[in-house]
């Protein structure tokens, strides 16, 4: 079974405090987005990649990333939207009826996802109707409102949701269109599918699969690169 992957990479990277978009910052001489695309382009389980870029950087992304690194599975680079959810929806609309089969969504700024998990993610998405890669939280999590702790959820039940998140494509598209119609804004794709009464499965991934968002994340990323495998 092979699948399609959508790579949202249309964020502006304000938290990085850099003039260049975070997905184009270099790690070991290559832009972060090129590291991420390489994971999927070289996987026999992925048939097609769609990259979602800021509208004014679509040409740059085609030229400097897709063509420059020869990513053969990238079928298109399309323009994203205001928020991540809008960007993913644009990707799903672009796929149209080609959204059949499993669709993975993976952040352009997560270059350390262990590619060996790709076939398992696809399999679970098809079997269970959805699969989210994540890790158990290590710290205790507090719910805080106006500086006051309101609750301490039981830690053994808490996981951090990363990407990829994968679903039957038509289900994911329906979840996104319904969220738009009802004005729901989620912080990940699974939350939109959960609203439809589905319960995607959680697959344990890696603590290294960080989203490179702030300058501290870049330091961590450099450390991960110099120590190749998961310990």
6 phi/psi in degrees, rounded to 5: -100, 130
**Contacts with ligand C5P: how many residues (CB under 6 A)?**
17
Residue 67: CB minimum distance to ligand C5P, A: 20
Site string for ligand C5P, 9-48 (x = CB under 6 A): xxx-----------x-------------------------
Residue 11: CB minimum distance to ligand C5P, A: 3
Q: Using CA atoms, how far apart are residues 27 and 96, in angstroms rounded to an integer? A: 34
Site string for ligand C5P, 187-216 (x = CB under 6 A): ------------------------x-x---
Per DSSP, 210 falls in state: -
Which of 37, 107, 133, 168 binds ligand C5P (CB under 6 A)? It is 107
Contacts of 87 (CB under 8 A, 6+ apart): 8, 10, 52, 80, 81
How is residue 49 written in tokens? 């990649």
Q: Using CA atoms, how far apart are residues 76 and 81, in angstroms rounded to an integer? A: 16
Place of tokens 């003039």: 19
Point out which span in 6-14, 131-139, 142-150, 195-203 binds ligand C5P (CB under 6 A): 6-14
Q: Using CA atoms, how far apart are residues 126 and 88, in angstroms rounded to an integer? A: 20
Residue 171: CB minimum distance to ligand C5P, A: 20
Point out which span in 101-109, 115-123, 133-141, 176-184 binds ligand C5P (CB under 6 A): 101-109
Asked if residue 108 binds ligand C5P (CB under 6 A), the reply is yes
- What residues between 65 and 84 interact with ligand C5P by CB under 6 A? 80-84
The edge-to-edge listing of strands for the beta sheet with 46-53 is 74-79, 46-53, 3-8, 102-105, 159-168, 131-136, 201-204
Contact residues: ligand C5P, CB under 6 A: 8-11, 23, 52, 80-84, 87, 107-109, 211, 213
């Amino acid at each position: 079974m092979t699948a399609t992957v959508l790579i949202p990479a249309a964020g502006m990277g304000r938290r990085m405090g850099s003039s260049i978009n975070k997905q184009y910052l270099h790690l070991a001489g290559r832009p972060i987005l090129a590291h991420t695309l390489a994971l999927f382009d070289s996987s026999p389980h992925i048939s097609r990649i769609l990259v979602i870029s800021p509208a004014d950087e679509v040409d740059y992304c085609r030229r400097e990333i897709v063509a420059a690194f020869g990513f053969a599975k990238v079928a298109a680079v399309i323009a994203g939207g205001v928020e991540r959810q809008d960007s993913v929806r644009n990707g799903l609309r672009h796929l149209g009826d080609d959204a059949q089969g499993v669709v993975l969504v993976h952040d352009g700024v997560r270059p350390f996802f262990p590619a060996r998990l790709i076939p398992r993610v696809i399999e679970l998405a098809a079997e269970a109707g959805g699969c989210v890669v994540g890790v158990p939280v290590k710290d205790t999590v507090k719910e805080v409102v106006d500086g006051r702790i309101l609750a301490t959820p039981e830690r053994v039940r808490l996981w951090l949701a990363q990407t990829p998140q994968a679903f039957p494509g038509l289900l994911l598209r329906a979840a996104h269109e319904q969220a738009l119609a009802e004005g729901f804004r989620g912080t990940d794709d699974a939350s939109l599918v959960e609203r439809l009464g589905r319960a995607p499965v959680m697959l344990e991934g890696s603590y290294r699969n960080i989203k490179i968002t702030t300058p501290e994340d870049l330091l961590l990323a450099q450390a991960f690169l110099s120590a190749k495998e998961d310990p």
